[in-house]
Chains A and B, each alone.
Chain A
Amino acid sequence: MSLAFCENAEQQFNLVSQALFSALQSNEVATLRISGEKSHFVRFNQGKVRQCGHVGDASVSIKLVRSKRTVDINLPISIIDQNSAEANKAAVLGALADLRVLADAVPEDPFVIFPENLGSSHNEMKGQTLSTELHIDRLIEPLSKLDATGYYAGGPSFRGLANSAGQRHWFSSESFFVDYSLYLPNEKSVKLYYSGNDWDDAKFKKQVDDGARQLKVLEAKPRSVPPGRYRTYLAPAAVSDLVSMFSWHGVSEGSLRRGESSLRALRDKSKTLSSQFGLRENFEKIHVPRFNSYGEVATNQIELISHGKLVNTLISRRTAKEYGIESNGASPYEGIRAPEVLGGKISEKEILKLLGTGLYLSNLHYLNWSDVQGGRVTGMTRYACFWVENGNIVAPIENLRWDESLYHYFGEGLVGITDFQELIPDTSTYGERALGGTLVPGMLVDGFTFTL
């Protein structure tokens, strides 16, 4: 597989954007975005293939501003067939006609955002993913003697943006991930991710073998730990889940202004987080498009929480216009696109010793706000989680429900942070394959509350 698919897509995008922008009237401006992928999906259970297939998908969306009215449309586009240029142009011009009718029927948008030429970019990440269609054995054979469940997703994908002010961005990459778990007959399991741009049989096999060895420690009879407050180590994947909550009723400026954010108390300084805790958006280490749907390019790093204090929020152009403040290149949703939690001082060797007696949690599950205003989150433990006594792993645990405030686990309860970070890939494939991930360390927390 190659990026030729992305090059075709870029050509089609150039043609339709040219057609769209030349058709605009004097009272109109527009932004055109494109997104698409060719994906191979192989789903497995018990180390055997459950479902497998291929998906080719691409769509364009047009944001039209017509006499200060803003309307959007999203429609499929053909990028495989070289003869589809005329059909694509016709589809886009037909959509433009529909948008004009829609725009004329709605009021002016008081926070209308006009496209600007804020600079262009072009970014390609080449890779060599596994052609599972022809070489499925290279994925399945290493898993076939294990109770392995999960899926492979890989192939080229692209995102593009152009606007009538002359701005143009392009991002394409060839990438893959295997998101999987290995199970024991007692139903205890470990969660693993193998991801990147270049498939390596040896690396994958080594990870599978290492994972199988990790299962040994889960063979012991699980311990039922009663509800209570325990000293708890949260491994990087668990911290990644906690950090994801900052993108949902968290660091969004619009959310804070409208009373929907869990960080109100941090903003008004009635509460603080631990001085050890730092959160930032870091596009240098996490490879996702830096441009947002307005065409703005975020700076390489944006400090959000520094030494426990909220130093920046994510501000989109629309929020900026509504509240008379400066945008910082955030997406309209104002979620963190490239989250990084800064590392600390605890070495890997010290984790169990410093934990002493308590819980070691590899992963969490199904997080939700139990009280947004109080910053309180609930969820479950999942996968390889252990009861530890005096720095020694004693037994895996029966899963526990927990309910705790971020002001505790990132605040007064935070004992320390590991000196290493892990990139937990974003393996979401709702609608399209996500890119990037979360770069996070592990954390040691005192008095984490378990409820059921």
Chain B
Amino acid sequence: MQVNLPDLLKTVHLPKCDWMGLRYMSEHKRYFTVRDERPENVGSDLSQGLMIEVLVNGQFGYAATQEMTKQGLQDAAEHAFNYAKTASQWALFKSTTAQRPTVQGSYAAPYVKPFDSLSVAEIYDVLREACKVLKASDKIIKTATSTQMILGHSEYVTTYGTHIQQKFNQMMTHMEAIAREGTIVQRRTDNGYVSRMYQSGLEGLNADQMKARAAQIALQALELLQAKDCPTTKTNVVIAPDQMMLQIHESIGHPLELDRILGDERNYAGFSFVRPHDFGKLQYGSKILNVTFDPTYPGESASYNFDDSGNKATKEYLIKDGVLVRALGSLDSQMRSKVPGVANSRACSWNRPPIDRMANINVEPGDKTFEQIIGDVEDGIYMETNRSWSIDDYRNKFQFGCEYAREIKNGKLGAALRNPNYRGTTNQFWNNLVALGNGSTNLVFGAPNCGKGEPNQSIRVGHASPVCSFKDLEVFGGAV
């Protein structure tokens, strides 16, 4: 960015306001998609702009602009001022400068290899070679590989002296194969839709590792063509981290968002079964369940040092020994509800205001190896990789589908099962958690498109989880 943000903010003149904050955000994305060893989408995307926020008479107003000049910012500031002033008589709550702390600091996401350490042709070749491995049989009718490399930058200054700079480099890869025999069609991916999303450099695009995983994806896609359908029954289910991530996201992350609990999201994403008085009391899950908000996890997709309202980010327990202890609530929501929260005021882009979001929401590992977890199950099903997700607006009644499953008989993995699905209700499900994998089973993934907010915002979040074992879960297969 060419402009000096603190100096630019000083040029703004408004009649009377209590506080101003100016946030710059940019993202430069480069993407490559290869389908059936041929180029499908190759290109780049640049987004950058400013958002100014103004506090007048206890009401914030905002305005976003791409015109990063004195005049452009002045025009935007007047919009923000007008909004704050006219809306203050209709304010839902009275805001203060305490919701925008005065801090200075920075963050730089970790990486080893810069994005330009491979040429465009070399990056394309890694994807094409992986595609070639995915095409393990004529029964595989579609192969696709892709990557996105994103350089993100945010800078935030306020009239109270806050100055924060944060740099985020994100690396995503995706692979999939679709296999068909007769009327049976099965899709297998690399841990789900763009789930391999990390704060990383080009070390995230490892040709040998991608080819090894591609071979496994192709093998399992073909295996599913011959597999039995998942039975309809109530049984023990062991869930891999690449499905746990969606389970955590939908049935822990969203219901703990304080703006949902306060009703802000009732018209869109929904409400929550959690109420303010539940914090410190509700037995959310079994006693082995510990869940953290952890923006300090190195390489996880939503790590940062400050949220987009300047709140310092720290690791916090949301659920401790199964009991709900803390909400996913920004300083705005904490002030309104008096419920303890975290630094999660996040905006997806320069043109959207920060709201309460997930960041990295993780299930903390337990003490069992994968073999011990499977060994403890006499009869059950092991499921991997999300392919379908749905939950009600109170985040209670859910249904998930997975790509791949195996029978568990007498403590050993058995034959593959296709079209595995399960459904349940949030509290009952988490209270049926009977075993947690240790660190050796723990994997980190990301969700690239968590949707929420009015106007709508799609943001990246991270989830780490060990392998988890549940009892008494309703499972079923595909359409008859």
Contacts and interface: CB of A to CB of B under 8 A. Distances in A.
Whether chains A and B associate is: yes
Interface of A: 39, 41-46, 48-59, 69-78, 80-81, 84, 98-99, 101-102, 105-107, 109-111, 132-137, 140, 144, 149-151, 153, 179-181, 183, 187, 189, 191, 258-260, 264-265, 270, 365-371, 373-376, 378-380, 382, 399, 401, 403, 405, 428-431, 433, 451-452
A403 B399 contact: yes
Contacts of B187: 260
B46 A365 contact: no
B267 A42 contact: no
A74 B392 contact: no
Most buried by A among B89, B393, B421, B479: B479
Given A50-B264, A429-B456, 17 more contacts: A41-B454, A46-B263, A53-B61, A54-B62, A72-B42, A73-B44, A73-B46, A99-B43, A107-B38, A110-B38, A133-B79, A137-B89, A259-B178, A365-B270, A374-B479, A376-B479, A401-B392
Interface stretch (B70-78, B276-284, B432-440): B70-78
15 contacts: A45-B92, A53-B64, A53-B353, A76-B47, A76-B48, A107-B38, A109-B39, A191-B267, A258-B178, A259-B142, A264-B185, A367-B390, A399-B393, A429-B456, A451-B399
B266 interface: yes
Nearest to B43: A72
A354 B318 CA distance: 50
Given A258-B141, A374-B479, A56 B66 contact: yes
A75 to B, nearest CB: 5
A176 B331 CA distance: 31
A75 B352 CA distance: 18
A380 B69 contact: no
B59 A56 contact: no
Contact of B478 (A48, A71, A179, A373): A373
Contacts of A137: 86, 89-90
A259 B185 CA distance: 7
Interface string B85-128: 01101111000000000000000000000000001110010000
B91 A48 contact: yes
B46 A44 contact: no
B399 A149 contact: no
A75 B46 contact: yes
A71 B42 contact: yes
A140 B83 CA distance: 13
Contacts of A382: 392-393
B267 A179 contact: yes
A99 B47 CA distance: 17
Nearest to B80: A53
A371 B421 CA distance: 9
A69 B39 CA distance: 9
B262 interface: yes
B414 interface: no
Contacts of B353: 51, 53
SS class, residues of chain A in contact with chain B: strand
Contact of B62 (A48, A53, A258): A53
Contacts of B44: 72-74, 98, 102
A131 to B, nearest CB: 10
A371 B66 contact: no
A430 B423 CA distance: 29
Contacts of A99: 43
Contacts of A132: 83
A133 B75 CA distance: 13
Given A102-B43, A366-B391, A153 B455 contact: yes
A365 B392 contact: yes
B208 interface: no
Contact of B42 (A70, A74, A366, A370): A70
Contact of B479 (A150, A179, A371, A379): A371
Nearest to B353: A51
Nearest to B179: A259
Contact of B271 (A54, A57, A135, A187): A187
Contact of A183 (B46, B49, B266, B458): B266
A404 B64 CA distance: 43
A149 B267 contact: yes
Contact of B49 (A42, A76, A101, A191): A76
Contacts of A80: 65, 67, 72, 75
Contacts of B67: 56, 78, 80-81, 84
B79 A53 contact: yes
Contact of A106 (B42, B424, B454): B42
A370 B66 contact: no
B63 interface: yes
A372 B184 CA distance: 11
Contacts of A399: 392-394, 397
B233 interface: no
* Interface pairs A-B: 8 shortest CB-CB: A374-B479, A72-B43, A53-B62, A105-B120, A429-B455, A48-B92, A151-B454, A150-B267
B138 interface: no
B38 A51 contact: no
Contacts of A44: 90, 92
Contact of B419 (A181, A183, A371, A401): A371
